[in-house]
Amino acid sequence: SLKDFYDLIIFDWAGTMVDFGCEAPVKALIEAFAAEGVHITAAAARQDMGKAKRDHVNGLMMEPTVAAAWQARYGRAADAEDREKIMARLGTLMRDHAARASTLIPGARETFDRLRAEGLRIGSSTGYTREMMEPVLTRAAEQGYVPDHVVCSGETPAGRPSPLMIFKACAELGVWPLSRVVKVDDAEAGISEGKAAGVFTVGVASGNALGLSLEALQALPPSERADRIADARQLLRDAGADLVIDSVATLIPELERATIALRDRQTGATGS
């Protein structure tokens, strides 16, 4: 049982437990910038995914193609007032898109139920603000997913890739040592957060790293689908994930295997 090794599993939200492919924040960011007359690509929107939305917007403003587009539109670089305007617009857009994209990913509920049955605590964290998360939390609860703890953007002094959201969850749930905590996330920033906290990190390839809806993924020819998933897995491995899985649906068996293999390596598997 995983309870032999861990006490707390902390899941990300969009792209990990809800919103297959992490589509909602991408659409919201594209619309927020388009309303200011500036086009951004989905690829640009995904670069800092998982970070607090304010940090995400700041990063986008400094991304060379976005900065150039803003300069071309306004004849000057974006300033603090522009960032606030985007953030103000983003709040409503994020709530709307997140609410529509809050269906649990296939297998997420079953994984949650099994972990709970094994006696593990379930935490969750997100780059969304509490306001953005409200409709998602309501919709997730209707589908039977109610984690023990939720940390939102702005509720710690710094967001990802700092480890503070994980530390907050552990402190408030009374869980220690950090070696008995697992962070499950589909974005590089979330893996970096887990590494900074010193917890076991699991990357989910079918989320932001893949960047496709379930329908779009299934529509691909099998060979291209395999290539895209392989690229997403590599991205998360490069970010430092201890384990990379395709979906939370397979988390439990894959985490059990990886953990036992890791403990065997650490003890030298000699029985000494």
How confident is the model at residue 267, as a pLDDT?
87
Active-site position among 53, 55, 195, 242: 53
Whether pLDDT at 270 is above 60: no
Whether pLDDT at 272 is above 90: no
Q: Which of 91, 81, 79 is nearest to 31 (CA)?
A: 91
Q: Which of 39, 57, 54, 47 is nearest to 22 (CA)?
A: 47
pLDDT tens column, 134-169: 999 999 999 999 999 999 999 999 999 999 999 999
Q: What is the mean pLDDT of residues 79-96?
A: 95
Whether pLDDT at 260 is above 60: yes
12 in catalytic set: yes
- Report cis status (omega within 30 of 0) of the bond before 106: no
164 within 8 A of 10, measured Cβ to Cβ:
no
What letter represents residue 139's amino acid? Answer: R
pLDDT tens column, 7-19: 999 999 999 999 9
pLDDT tens column, 194-236: 999 999 999 999 999 999 999 999 999 999 999 999 999 999 9
Active-site position among 12, 19, 48, 242: 12
How confident is the model at residue 144, as a pLDDT?
98
Cα–Cα distance, 49 to 191 (Å, whole number): 11
Q: What is the mean pLDDT of residues 114-132?
A: 97
Beta strands in 127-267 (DSSP E): 149-151, 181-185, 200-204, 243-245
Q: What is the mean pLDDT of residues 187-194?
A: 98
pLDDT tens column, 39-48: 999 999 999 9
Q: What is the mean pLDDT of residues 237-266?
A: 96
pTM for the model stands at: 0.95
Q: Which tokens belong to 12?
A: 């990300």
Cα–Cα distance, 130 to 151 (Å, whole number): 8
How confident is the model at residue 269, as a pLDDT?
56
Cα–Cα distance, 154 to 148 (Å, whole number): 19
Three-state DSSP class for residue 208: coil
Beta strands in the chain (DSSP E): 8-12, 121-125, 149-151, 181-185, 200-204, 243-245
Query: Residues near 213 by Cβ (< 8 Å), separated by ≥ 6?
Result: 20, 21, 23
What are the CA-CA distances from residue 201 to residues 10, 12, 208 (Å)?
10, 11, 16
Reported as a pLDDT band with limits 50, 70 and 90, residue 2 is very high
Cα–Cα distance, 76 to 91 (Å, whole number): 25
Strand order in the sheet with 121-125: 149-151, 121-125, 8-12, 181-185, 200-204, 243-245
Vertex 8: Cα angle to 7 and 9 (nearest 5):
135
Three-state DSSP class for residue 247: coil
